[in-house]
Structure 1
Amino acid sequence: MSSTVNSPSERRTHHLRHEWGVDGQISDRIIRAIAEYEDNRPEDLPGLETRINPEALNTAFETEESSGCTAGCITFSYYGYTVLVQSTGHILIKKN
């Protein structure tokens, strides 16, 4: 028997795609997504800086256009979620 997940708050794992240099700050994107999953406003959540340096996260995978993408990933916990950010722009947000 399978169950249907109807809303983002009922899902345990979320996948997002971020395009570096186009979609704005990845730190803001993560906070907005988790606020949506928790049915809160982003400003009601604690600052991301309580878990990770947002500026470092935003710039970790910046490269010169000619040199291509820097490979890697960053994982941290925030507001009851484990967040994995890949240099490819894939973001995995999993409810703990």
Structure 2
Amino acid sequence: MRYQIGPDEPVDVAVVSAVSAAEECAPEALPQLTEAVNPDALNEIFAPKDEGPTRRSGTVSFDYSNSRVTIERNEYLTVEPLDVIPTP
């Protein structure tokens, strides 16, 4: 599932929204995001810079609930079920 992050939507909120949609459950039914990643740090990685050029690249992936979440440039995130991701 591909999810477009809203222009004023915090990344941590987008993650919970996208995973709850992909797993077809209420956001409250998901584990706390802090069990997978530090939400403040995640938001900071993709936050606008105070000075200089804007951030145009960057990708972060992590497992949350029963999904692998990949965030790309604070624009999109993808959610893949862990049971279909090949293991090395």
Pairing partner for 2:69 from 63, 80, 83: 83
**Could you say which residue in structure 1 is the equivalent of 2:45?**
60
Amino acid at match of 2:63: S
Structure 1 residue ranges (4+ consecutive) displaced by more than 4 angstroms after TM superposition: none
Q: What percent identity do the matched residue pairs reach?
A: 23
Structure 1 Cα separation of the partners of residues 16 and 74 of structure 2:
19
Structure 1: tracts of 5 or more residues without a match: 1-13
Whether the aligned pair in 2 keeps the contact of 1:61 and 1:70 (CA below 8 Å) is no
TM-score by length of 1: 0.72
Work out whether 1:28 is the aligned partner of 2:9.
no
Q: CA RMSD in A?
A: 1.8
Structure 2: tracts of 5 or more residues without a match: 83-88
- Deviation at 1:91? 0.7
**Greater mean alpha carbon deviation, residues 79-88 or residues 60-69:** 60-69
**Could you say which residue in structure 2 is the equivalent of 1:95?**
81
Q: Deviations over 1:7-47 (max 9, x none)?
A: xxxxxxx111224xx23211111112221222321112111
**Greater mean alpha carbon deviation, residues 57-66 or residues 22-31:** 57-66
